[in-house]
Amino acid sequence: MLHKFLLLSCLFFLGFRGAQAQNNLPRLVKTGASTQLLVDGKPYFVLGGELGNSTASSTAYMQPVWPRLRAQHLNTVIAPVYWELLEPQEGRFDFTLIDDLLRDARKNQMKLVLLWFGAWKNSVSCYAPAWVKTDRKCFLRVQDDQGVPQEIMTPFDPRNLDADRKAFVQLMQHLKATDGQEHTVITVQAENEIGMLPTARSYDEKANAAFKQQVPAALLTYLQREKKNLKPEFAAIWQRQGAKTKGTWEEVFGKSLATDEIFMAWFFATYTNAITAAGKAVYPLPMYVNAALNRPNVAPGKYPSAGPLPHVMDVWLAGAPDIDLLAPDFYNPNFEHWCDLYTRGNNPLFIPEIRFEDGVDAKAFFAFGHYNCLSFSPFAIEGSDTLKSPPIGKAYELLSQVTFLLGKYQPAGQVRGFLLQKDSAARVFTLGDYRFTARHEFALGWSMGSKKAEWSPGGGLIIAVAPDEFYVVGTGLVLTAEPNAKGKRAGYLSVDEGHFENEKWLPGRRMNGDQDHQGRHVRVAGGEYSIQHVKLYAY
């Protein structure tokens, strides 16, 4: 009897643990003004770095990389999983590299975001296994408008989808089996920078047949339901044709390269959604897709088109409801412009890649403070460039101390962020009982740096923990404050520099006299990094 009771108790406990782990899976939740990524039940912010494409293909090569990533205060590594190495022979799966990644990430107290380098990587099917690449009869390719086959698997061939999906499901099943309790892997990217080249659509036989068909009802239903929320540039194309609710692609959207791109976007989106849905069915981690941002005045097909780009975002939202996030890869200028485009319609900002260059540290503060960003991740984080550019590690060292405050105060809209460049005007915003003005610290003219022709961007974020109490985090900034109340002036009760240990504030210097300009501003010199605890009063 006792044995039976003990056995039942163990089974119940294991079952509960399994369900509890299932319940505590990494997931996205909408909380007030923001969407948060919860990992083991707590808001998580990816202070990340994406590995160069080939780095994770060798466990040995990764060994000296881990300590460098730890030294940069990363909490997350974004790493590829390669279809060609996962399934070298059809139906035979090798999880060695993934198991090594899981082991080493855990050993280094880091989380992982995995990239599924499956059918497409930077538009091309270069990571498809040899048995797919060499069988062009079974696995159809995209063709250009001259009928020339490309090294791109066409999304119109169900055999391509079946092979890609089977491998992805195997990956997700393995993650559930080996990481379903620990949740080392927190999100998965499906494919990489899907984008149509060298023409705006494929001209393979299946694509041509689909192009003559009616626009799928699912897309038309979405357009009608979301009519008021469509991105303006996309809505204009549909409305120019009379906002038709049925017809072929060219009847509904007109005869143009833009229509070719919308057509391809639908089939890329529905293909990738099928992969994502199948993967989530076995292990429902948050999943996203990323896009190579297009440059202005370049025609679809001359840039990798039809991926999850802002101007076809509605097509992706309609065709891929199981994909949680549409993410930008930042290699273009105009960081703020693209962040604004990607956060339309409350699409959370998740940056899986950003060029490692001057100012990447300031952009990190800005992204987390202004856009409630979920992930910030310079590309090729392990590369030699990291030694040349401003230390992202300093930014992450400070951000890792205040993410608990971001998680607590973002839902109530009590966080602001700002990016400060030589040519940018002062940033003015209201927070708590005060109106703040943020300027680049070099604007004071006090620093040697202010004489330079080029200024490294400054940036920061500010968290209101009370209407008159704030934490300011950043680099190269000067902040002044005025009470919202008319006729009042702001005074500085105290400004303390310091740091958090286990969420406990440990003040350092009292920043008075010259350090807060005799009670007139909060300042962090260009090239320096600090957290300052500020208490204001109005008189």
Rounded to whole angstroms, what are the CA distances from 85 to 57, 94, 127, 277?
Answer: 8, 7, 8, 23
Q: Closest distance between ligand DGJ and the C-beta of residue 192, in Å?
A: 5
Amino acid occupying residue 386: T
Q: Closest distance between ligand DGJ and the C-beta of residue 379, in Å?
A: 6
Strands 490-501 and 530-538: antiparallel
Q: Which is nearer to ligand DGJ, 294 or 480 (CB)?
A: 294
Q: Closest distance between ligand DGJ and the C-beta of residue 484, in Å?
A: 44
Strands 434-440 and 427-431: antiparallel
Q: Closest distance between ligand DGJ and the C-beta of residue 465, in Å?
A: 38
Nearest CA among 145, 175, 88, 76 for reference residue 396: 76
Q: Determine the Cα–Cα distance for residues 496 and 121; give it in Å rounded to an integer.
A: 48
Q: Which is nearer to ligand DGJ, 328 or 432 (CB)?
A: 328
Q: Closest distance between ligand DGJ and the C-beta of residue 292, in Å?
A: 6
Q: Which is nearer to ligand DGJ, 16 or 331 (CB)?
A: 331
Name the phi and psi angles at 216, rounded to 5.
Answer: -55, 140
Q: Which is nearer to ligand DGJ, 55 or 421 (CB)?
A: 55
Q: Closest distance between ligand DGJ and the C-beta of residue 266, in Å?
A: 22
Torsion of CA 130, 281, 353, 195, to 10 degrees: 60
The string of DSSP letters for 356-394 reads: --TTHHHHHHHHHHHS--SEE-BBTTTSTHHHHS--HHH
Q: Is 78 helix (H, G, I), strand (E, B) or coil?
A: strand
Q: Closest distance between ligand DGJ and the C-beta of residue 174, in Å?
A: 23
Q: Closest distance between ligand DGJ and the C-beta of residue 201, in Å?
A: 22
Nearest CA among 344, 291, 287, 372 for reference residue 321: 287
CB atoms within 10 A of CB 527: 17
Q: Which is nearer to ligand DGJ, 126 or 257 (CB)?
A: 126
Q: Which is nearer to ligand DGJ, 289 or 479 (CB)?
A: 289
Q: Which is nearer to ligand DGJ, 122 or 343 (CB)?
A: 122
Give the residue closest to ligand DGJ by C-beta. 193
Strand partners, 464: 470
Q: Which is nearer to ligand DGJ, 82 or 267 (CB)?
A: 82
Q: Closest distance between ligand DGJ and the C-beta of residue 120, in Å?
A: 10
158-179 and 257-282 helices cross at what angle (nearest 10)? 40
Q: Which is nearer to ligand DGJ, 51 or 223 (CB)?
A: 51
Q: What is the 3-state secondary structure (H, E, C) of 191-256?
A: EECCCECCCCCCCCHHHHHHHCCECCHHHHHHHHHCCCCCCHHHHHHHHHCCCCCCCEHHHHHCCC
Nearest CA among 399, 397, 342, 330 for reference residue 366: 399
Which residues would be at the binding site for ligand DGJ (CB under 6 A)?
A: 53, 122, 192-193, 329, 331, 353, 379
Q: Is 443 helix (H, G, I), strand (E, B) or coil?
A: helix
